[in-house]
Chain A
Amino acid sequence: MKNLIEVKNIKKNYGKKQAVKGISFNVQENEILGLLGPNGSGKTTTIGMLLGLLKPTSGQILINNLKLENHRIEILEMINFISPYIELPKKLTVKQNLNVYAKLYKVQNIEERIEYLSEKLRIEELLDSITGELSSGQKNRVSLAKALINEPRVLLLDEPTASLDPEVGDFVRTFLEEYKKEKKISVLLASHNMSEVTRLCKSVLMMKNGEIIDQGTPDDLINKHGRTNLEEVFLKLSRSKSEFN
């Protein structure tokens, strides 16, 4: 399988503070890689660097074999991002927002693409609604439609189901599983929802204090640490200061 994301020893310093301390990992085609870690562990900084919003202090990022520092625009054309901390313009209708982003990503056949995503994500009836007036579950599906508008080969997800009720959360997870399988995309998933990570991710990176402190499949990590689920592994690793600091 081809690596669509290759991260090679990237570091990010803010002055004397080291937010990310030289991490390396790959994400293959048709793979969802989970990125776990307590708040402040460097997950968002890592995602920011992959999106080109942050410049690594050192190291290299390759997306589909292209160096991010030299091919920012080509890479941004093939990736997209969803996070509950960013929103679409609230005063525009859903369709207007999707239309704007389709143009920014130079999508061909915009109407067809919006129709396809609307149907898949069950937002057909929301297209003429004002985005700011939607419920959080509806907004989440609309943000997902925006994130898929350019048919990304790489999708970066930062807590994609945070604050969603179980039904909508399950819908989103099922959709992501099916979409990944159908389109063979690479997904990097940062989440605090351990059951979500266990369900979706083939392998998991555990981050703490800017470092990768463990990695493997969810089952491997559970067995290795002698716990019954990934949440217990997460708690063990998060709390074991002396072992990893």
Chain B
Amino acid sequence: MSLTRIYGLFLRHFYLITRSFPRILDLVYWPTIQITLWGFISNFFATHTTYYNNAVGVILTCAILYDFLFRTSIGFNMLFLEEIWSRNFTNLFIAPMKIGEILTSLVITALIRSLIGLVPAVLLTSPLFGISILELGIFLFFLFLSLYIFGITLGILVSSGLLRFGPSFENIAWSTMFLLAPFGCIYYPIETLPEVFQKIAYILPLVYIFEEARNILINQTVDIENIYNAFIWNALYFTLSIILFYYSFNAAKNRGTLINMGE
């Protein structure tokens, strides 16, 4: 692995973001709107239901966590799509970069993109709604890490599709998170789902992450097993996504997708 190459590809996206005020605004705008909206909904629920009585910030905290996941996944896809839209894809793949270097660079860049959006949104929650996500304590780090890994995993899976099928796969890039969201039990406990959906939910790391966030905030206890399960499923899906990416890269070399990607 070459740090210079990883930094070079990071620099390409760093220049792109920092050169354009609308791009920075776009990164901050949606998370802030999302958090503000869910903040008011959360306030309403807290005063009208008994379930959330003890934890005013449950919905808002889960909204912040979900937004982080969403931004990470979309952010990763965006980095890949940027190369296709700018017709720079061929230049990138004829540069002497290993697949691992490309992925590492995109993973780091996606994290920075997500944090640019997340930090202002998180800072807003305290003065606006009197809620701090930091109430999750040290376990907040593990939940974020788990969400980050899953977001990146989804990004790599979608990028594999883009490699394999070309730009026509772009629409899937935008819809992946929406497909998984109902099974993630982001805003409701898993018991809310029909039994068959619960079985699907249990093989996703999301349900463990969001169940644990609610558990910490509502019951003030920590169930390490949830965090452990989330990491186990994450490790499995992340490994599969890397294998699929390599497979798609080789398939693209056989099918000629790489050479026609910008067209």
Q: Which residues of A contact B (CB under 8 A)?
A: 14, 44-45, 48, 51-55, 72-74, 76-77, 79-81, 83, 85-93, 96, 99-106, 146
Main secondary structure of the interface of B (DSSP, over half): helix
Main secondary structure of the interface of A (DSSP, over half): mixed
Contacts of A92 in B (CB 8 A): 12, 15-16, 19
Docked-complex contact B253 and A100, CB < 8 angstroms: no
Assembled-state Cα–Cα distance A44/B90 (Å): 13
Known A53-B94, A73-B98, A103-B8: A86·B256 in contact at CB below 8 Å: no
Docked-complex contact B95 and A76, CB < 8 angstroms: yes
Contacts of B15 in A (CB 8 A): 92-93, 96, 100
Docked-complex contact A101 and B95, CB < 8 angstroms: yes
Does any Cβ of A come within 8 Å of B20's Cβ?
Answer: yes
Does any Cβ of A come within 8 Å of B263's Cβ?
Answer: yes
Docked-complex contact A146 and B91, CB < 8 angstroms: yes
Q: Smallest CB-CB separation from A102: which chain B residue?
A: B8
Contacts of B16 in A (CB 8 A): 89, 91-92
Does any Cβ of A come within 8 Å of B259's Cβ?
Answer: yes
**Chain B count of residues within 8 A CB distance of the other chain:** 35
Known A53-B259, A100-B8: A87·B88 in contact at CB below 8 Å: yes
Contacts of B9 in A (CB 8 A): 100, 104
Docked-complex contact B96 and A76, CB < 8 angstroms: yes
Kindly identify which residue among B5, B87, B92 contacts A106, using a CB–CB cutoff of 8 Å: B5
Kindly identify which residue among B7, B20, B254 contacts A55, using a CB–CB cutoff of 8 Å: B254
Q: Smallest CB-CB separation from B8: which chain A residue?
A: A103
Known A85-B87, A91-B16, A92-B16: A106·B4 in contact at CB below 8 Å: yes
Query: Using a CB-CB cutoff of 8 Å, which residues 1-45 of chain B contact chain A?
Result: 2, 4-5, 7-9, 11-12, 15-16, 19-20
Q: Which residues of B contact A (CB under 8 A)?
A: 2, 4-5, 7-9, 11-12, 15-16, 19-20, 82, 86-98, 250, 253-256, 258-259, 262-263
Docked-complex contact B259 and A48, CB < 8 angstroms: yes
Docked-complex contact B88 and A104, CB < 8 angstroms: no
Known A105-B95, A106-B5: A87·B259 in contact at CB below 8 Å: no
Contacts of B87 in A (CB 8 A): 85-87
Contacts of A53 in B (CB 8 A): 90, 93-94, 253, 256, 258-259
Give min CB distance, A59 to chain B, whole Å: 14
Q: Smallest CB-CB separation from B94: which chain A residue?
A: A51
Nearest 8 A/B pairs, CB to CB:
A103-B8, A76-B96, A104-B95, A48-B259, A55-B253, A86-B90, A87-B87, A77-B96
Contacts of B253 in A (CB 8 A): 52-55
Contacts of B4 in A (CB 8 A): 103, 106
15 additional A-B residue pairs with CB within 8 Å, beyond A89-B82, A92-B19, A103-B7: A14-B255, A14-B256, A45-B259, A51-B94, A53-B258, A81-B94, A83-B90, A86-B90, A86-B91, A89-B88, A91-B86, A100-B11, A104-B8, A104-B97, A106-B96
Assembled-state Cα–Cα distance A89/B91 (Å): 10
* Interface pairs (17), CB distance under 8 Å: A14-B256, A53-B93, A54-B253, A54-B254, A72-B96, A77-B96, A85-B90, A86-B88, A86-B89, A86-B262, A89-B86, A91-B19, A92-B16, A92-B19, A101-B8, A101-B91, A103-B5
Contacts of B262 in A (CB 8 A): 85-87
Give min CB distance, B20 to chain A, whole Å: 6
Contacts of B2 in A (CB 8 A): 106
